[in-house]
Structure 1
Amino acid sequence: MSIFENLNPSVSPSPAAQKPAEGSFTFVFQALPESVEEMKALPEASLDTPYKTAALTVCALCAYAAAPEIGKEMLDFLKGPAPLSPMEVSFLNDRFRDGKHIPFSYFAGATPENNYTPSQPFTVSVFSNPYSFQNEGRATLHLNSGGADSPRQIKLRLKPSEGKWYLSEQMIMVGVRTPQNDDPWA
């Protein structure tokens, strides 16, 4: 027996160190969280897969639409050790000037025709593709919007010491088709 065996015992990799499963995962929320405490009480708040973090990002952005300070608290929780920068806050504030419908467009049933009113319970699907996990400890996942023709991305990063996936960058707060109530051509 070597004297060094006890310093770094051989163990199998933790689930967080393993590559996440590829595919599509659907998350169902009976109600959207209205505070960071409510978000932390959800089973998805374990953040042990990038898919859970991505789904909660949609919820946090919906909260931001209703109450920016609460949404910011939620996003800071999802960003872990790297909270929202002033530039990211400015970007979000700019995106919401044209309407609060964009994050709701990622829930099932939300379309321009119904002014992005999601079906209830709130259901969001997050999926990967063959390129989603090219870089170890990082993931680029995708969501479909009822108001866009192509999927949008959310980038996440693993913090190995915690086994949690944190939001790195969201690219879902970009334009979608105008809600019918706001469309002068409808």
Structure 2
Amino acid sequence: MKTKLITLLLTLACFVNYAEAQSLDMLKRKAASKAKQETTRAIRKTVGAGVPKSVELGSIPATLEEFDAKYNVIAMTPEGAIAMFLAAMDIYARNEELGAKCFGLCFHPENRNGDLPNNHFLSFMRSRFHYGDGQPWIARSYFEGAKPDNGYTPKEPLTLKMKSRANDDDYLTSMDADVEKRWLQSSGADSERAVQVLRVRGEELYYIFEYGGLPSQVRKPRR
């Protein structure tokens, strides 16, 4: 009985120490995040905030191999990772199987289900693009030159513009990563839509963290 009590007390002590360590780690991360957030806001107020940045996608990849190769080149910036996510969305609207695999590459390996996004994400995208009143033109509506009047036909090479805002927050994740927010305007919507990407510290590529309203419906094309 005494041995069991000692074991229980030791287990409880280990649990308390672990919980305290986790809490301390979270407090440190919150403090670091707050400091980074204040610095980032100060920079955005003087440099770049509200000024659209352009990223050239060129064309939509035709195969998974092409998608992977292009992702590894342009997803070194937040804008590039977002452009690739929209490319995956356009592919998915036309080819569900290939698009799902391309979507998988847009998420960090720790946030995937094997090589694919999680089931909730795929279920949402399936309902958006392959059930009922699907809108295969959503992704194209963000690219330069696309508008309802021309059937959302973008200019070539495909170019995307987006911007940050001075009051955008920094976000904590369960990963040791920096998160960036960008705002995009669809020509078929009335207001800008936000998307967040993350880059794990020590890594080169950005990945989708929160896709927000990007897949939301837009006005139907007029032709």
Sort the TM-score into its range (normalised by shorter chain): 0.7 to 0.9
CA distance in 1, matches of 2:85, 2:168: 17
Give the TM-score taking structure 1 as reference length. Answer: 0.78
Residues 44 and 108 of structure 1: CA distance in aligned 2, closer, same or farther (over 3 Å): farther
Moved more, 159-168 or 133-142: 133-142
Moved more, 67-76 or 46-55: 46-55
Contact 1:44 1:52 (8 Å CA) reproduced: no
CA distance in 2, matches of 1:69, 1:45: 23
Contact 2:59 2:157 (8 Å CA) reproduced: yes
SS, match of residue 117 in structure 1: coil
Query: Displaced runs of 4+ in structure 1, greater than 3 A?
Result: 17-23, 43-46
SS, match of residue 70 in structure 1: helix
Match of 1:141 in 2: 182
Contact 1:108 1:118 (8 Å CA) reproduced: yes
Pairing 1:1-186 to 2, within 5 Å after superposition: 22=48, 23-42=51-70, 45=73, 47-81=75-109, 82-83=111-112, 84-96=117-129, 97=131, 98-132=134-168, 134-135=170-171, 137-170=178-211, 171-181=213-223
Residues 107 and 53 of structure 1: CA distance in aligned 2, closer, same or farther (over 3 Å): same
SS, match of residue 65 in structure 1: helix
The size of the alignment, in residue pairs, is 165
Relative to its length, the structure with more strand (as a share) is 1
CA distance in 1, matches of 2:217, 2:71: 30
Q: Unaligned 5+ residue runs, structure 1? A: 1-16, 182-186
SS, match of residue 128 in structure 1: coil
CA distance in 2, matches of 1:47, 1:119: 21
- The alpha carbon displacement at 1:25 in A equals 2.1
Moved more, 89-98 or 133-142: 133-142
Larger radius of gyration: 2
Relative to its length, the structure with more helix (as a share) is 2
Aligned residues with identical type, % of pairs: 27
SS, match of residue 206 in structure 2: strand
CA distance in 1, matches of 2:86, 2:157: 14
Q: Unaligned 5+ residue runs, structure 2? A: 1-35, 173-177
RMSD: 2.4
Moved more, 34-43 or 61-70: 34-43
CA distance in 1, matches of 2:76, 2:55: 14
Looking at both structures, which has the greater relative contact order when contacts are Cα pairs under 8 Å and sequence separation is at least 6? 1
